[in-house]
Amino acid sequence: MFHNRLIPLLVLVTALLWSPPSMLASTPTLERDVAYFAGLNDRSMGSTGADQAAEYIFKQFTEAGLSSVGTQKFLHPVPEASAASLQVDGVSMRLFPWGPNMAYLPMTPEEGLTGSLVYVGDGNLENFQGHAIHGAIVVMNSGTGGNWMNAAMLGASALIYLGDRDSTRNEYQQQNIPTPVAFPRFWISSEGGQRLQALAAKRDLAVTVTARTRWQNKLVRNVYGLIPGKSEKLKEELIILEAFYDASSPVLGLAPGADEAVSIGALLTLARHLGENPPERSVLLVATTGNAQGLAGMREFTWAATTRKKAMRDQERRLDIRKKEVDHLLDLLKEAQPLDLADKADRGLIWQLVVNRARDKADELGRETQIQRLLRGSALQESAVPKTDPETEKIETDAETSDKDRRANDFEPDANVDPRDYRRLASLNSSEALTGNQRQLAEGLLRGARRDLKAERDELKLRLQSIKSSQQLRTLLGDFTSVLVMGLHLSSHSLAVGLTEMGNTYPWREEIKRRVRSFRLNEILTQLAGEIPRHSDIPGIIFASLATHGSGGKAPNHFCNSCDAAAIADLPAVSLSTLEDNRA
């Protein structure tokens, strides 16, 4: 698959992506692109900045002369922070919610969380001595690892990290270890942090933290463009060059990602050059999103590139059928008495909707009732334990107590609502046998159904857009045979680059097979090392890489490379990665 005639293109790619002494300074268009992307401040997946980046790429592809420029849309859940702030003495200071802890997002009640401001430095336990931590808003330095758990265990209401310009990626990752604790954490800029630290020196200063966050299923997109090959014999062979354009950050709403913009900047540089100098084979340039979300964009692209057209048409048909059903149900619910429709078939549809929602409601009430019984039973058992020895008494932390109080108050079942009423309702065959009370329950369920059906209709519209955009991409790719998929995973932290076949996305079990193929790749890389100096003034900065995460540890082994998603679909895939770089 990796034919010798691919060498000129790989030489070109490498030559365009590196020039001494500084890649950015010596490539004005690349410097401009990186500055634009980093200037968006937040390019996290699904953000406004990511949308602007996609529009910029679409425009650059078009201006570079690429044909069939388009977008592949798909839905993906993303965390969204609409507001986060700290109020003190009538002044509001902006906060940034910390990223998801498993599925939990930092949030507060509508009125916010009010407590005294306490600064604890690095968050070691001795720093908490002498402070009333229960209910407090704790301020802690960045780069403190798992010490935030000390604040949570001692009953703090929330924690704010002080921003530090010298903090590294590794330090943030150590603070981001998934832990099943619902404890809101925030981040404040270094400038705001200095002021906050000074305020914390005033004992018993009350502040209020408010935050609005949620998970939202958003429509995101990949951007692609085609450069037709100039050779009549080889133009039906396709080389796919990919780079991600979004950025990752442990802080919601703040992901400028200057270094992460190097790869997409390099892809745009290639687009402009190849647009003016098309190679023998056809080239598809793809800018993907969701790199930090398990290669979401590359996985969607790979699915579109390898899925049969019939399967896509079947999926579109199912979505269209369901959308028509939802539209019809919404029309029926507009009637004054939807339970008493004249048409028997329509009346049956409405009744089936009632039955399904009644079952769901009964299950929900039953689960919540059982949870409350378990919590109350646990509290009674603990209160009955004799405490005769103060020295050996098991002390429950404030965090545990407040957590139980919070859970106990989350759900107070209405004494007039019985899950059995909904189960009886779901057991009826039609609306004709409804009693007065059952009719009221059914009408209440239908009122809630309108809201849910409208939300489902909106999502179905987006899913139809998504599948149609994937069909358009699949039609474009159907004319070609993919001979190489190469992702760009570059950094400005090192000049050395190399090809890697495996990232850290999946627990690979094909190491033997992929090592055999890597031998051939290493032969090509050896030739490249000699070809590059002859084609340019660039010294040998490309190295052979092994299939198992690079050459002798030179390739970062903790990244998810886009080639992983393509490889499991049996596409010939590699990643051109910066070596000797931990991207800390």
- Tens of pLDDT along 527-544? 666 666 666 565 655 665
Residue 285: per-residue pLDDT = 98
Q: What's the CA gap between 565 and 562, in Å, rounded?
A: 6
Say if residue 31 is in the same domain as residue 41: yes
Quick one: 361 and 446 in the same domain? yes
Q: How far apart are CA 49 and CA 70, in angstroms?
A: 19
Share of the chain above pLDDT 90, in %: 59
Tokens of 493: 């932290």
Mean pLDDT of 576-584: 70
Q: Are residues 103 and 194 located together in one domain of the fold?
A: yes
- Asked whether residue 103 falls in the same domain as residue 191, the answer is yes
Q: Domain for residue 387, yes or no?
A: no
Examine residue 241 and state whether it is found in any structural domain, yes or no.
yes
Q: Identify the H or E element spanning 214.
A: strand 206-227
Task: Tell whether 137 is covered by a domain.
Answer: yes
Could you tell me where the DSSP H helices lie in 411-435?
A: 419-427
∠ at Cα 464 (460, 466), nearest 5°? 115
Query: Is 267 inside a domain boundary?
Result: yes
Cα(51)–Cα(72) distance, integer angstroms: 13
Position 400 in a domain? no
The reply to whether 433 and 374 lie within a common domain is yes
Are 250 and 148 a contacting pair, CB within 8 Å? no
- Domain for residue 389, yes or no? no
Token representation of residue 327: 């539209």
Collapse the DSSP code of 91 into the 3-class scheme (helix H, G, I; strand E, B; otherwise coil) and give the result.
strand
Determine the average pLDDT of the residues in 474-481.
93
Same structural domain, 457 and 322: yes
User: Residue 476 corresponds to which tokens in the numbers above?
Assistant: 């474009």
55 and 96, same structural domain?
no
Written in H, E and C, the secondary structure of 113-136 is EEEEEEECCCCCHHHHCCCCCCCC
Helix axes 436-477, 296-306, angle to 10 degrees: 70
Q: What is the pLDDT of residues 56-109, one digit of tens each?
A: 999 999 999 999 999 999 999 999 998 999 999 889 999 999 999 989 999 999
Closest CA to 161 of 144, 141, 136, 182: 141
What is the rounded distance in angstroms from the CA atom of residue 402 to the CA atom of residue 384?
19
Confidence at residue 440, expressed as pLDDT on a 0 to 100 scale: 92
Under DSSP, is residue 343 helix (H, G, I), strand (E, B) or coil? coil
Same domain, 469 and 547: yes
Query: What pLDDT sits at residue 348?
Result: 94
pLDDT interval class at 10 (50, 70, 90): low
Confidence at residue 540, expressed as pLDDT on a 0 to 100 scale: 58
Q: Count CA atoms within 13 Å of residue 576 on its CB side.
A: 33
Q: How many domains does the chain have?
A: 3
Out of 182, 215, 248, pick the residue that ends a domain.
215
User: Is residue 408 predicted with pLDDT exceeding 90?
Assistant: no
Average pLDDT over residues 382-397: 47
Residues 233, 255: one domain?
yes
Higher pLDDT, 334 or 378: 334
Identify any residues that bridge with 77 across adjacent strands, giving them in sequence order.
217
R_g of the chain, CA atoms, integer Å:
29
Same domain, 484 and 344: no
Give residue 25's pLDDT. 40
Please tell me the distance from the alpha carbon of residue 268 to that of residue 260, in angstroms, as a whole number: 14
Q: What is residue 543's predicted lDDT score, i.e. its pLDDT?
A: 60
Are β-strands 542-543 and 282-288 bridged in parallel, bridged antiparallel, or unpaired?
unpaired
Are both 102 and 198 inside the same structural domain?
yes
Backbone angles phi, psi at 29, to 5 degrees: -65, -40
**Is residue 405 in a domain?**
no
Task: Give the CATH number for residue 177.
Answer: 3.50.30.30
CA atoms of 169 and 489, how far apart (whole Å): 17
**What DSSP designation does 180 have?**
S
Q: Is 521 helix (H, G, I), strand (E, B) or coil?
A: helix
Domain boundary among 186, 215, 244: 215
Q: Which residues contact 218 (CB under 8 A, 6 or more apart)?
A: 46, 75, 76, 77, 78, 80
Confidence of residue 16 (pLDDT cuts 50, 70, 90): very low
Share the mean pLDDT of the chain: 84
Query: What is the sign, positive or negative, of the torsion defined by CA atoms of 222, 99, 452, 210?
Result: negative
State what percent of residues in the chain have pLDDT above 70. 78
Q: Assess whether 46 and 20 both reside in one domain.
A: yes
SS (H, E, C) 8-57: HHHHHHHHHHCCCCCCCCCCHHHHHHHHHHHCCCECCCCCHHHHHHHHHH
Alpha-carbon span 447 to 501, nearest angstrom: 54
Residue 406 belongs to a domain: no
Q: What is the pLDDT of residue 407?
A: 41
- At residue 40, what are phi and psi to the nearest 5 degrees? -75, -10
pLDDT-derived band of residue 4, with 50, 70 and 90 as boundaries? very low
Which domain does 132 fall in, by range? Answer: 80-215
Q: Which of 191, 215, 239 is the last residue of a domain?
A: 215
Question: Which residue from 262, 286, 274 is spatially nearest to 9, judged by alpha carbons?
Answer: 274
Q: Which of 213, 217, 215 is nearest to 73 (CA)?
A: 217
Residue range 357-383: average pLDDT?
Answer: 82
**What CATH number is attached to the domain comprising 517?**
3.40.630.10
- Confidence band of 385 (pLDDT split at 50, 70, 90): low
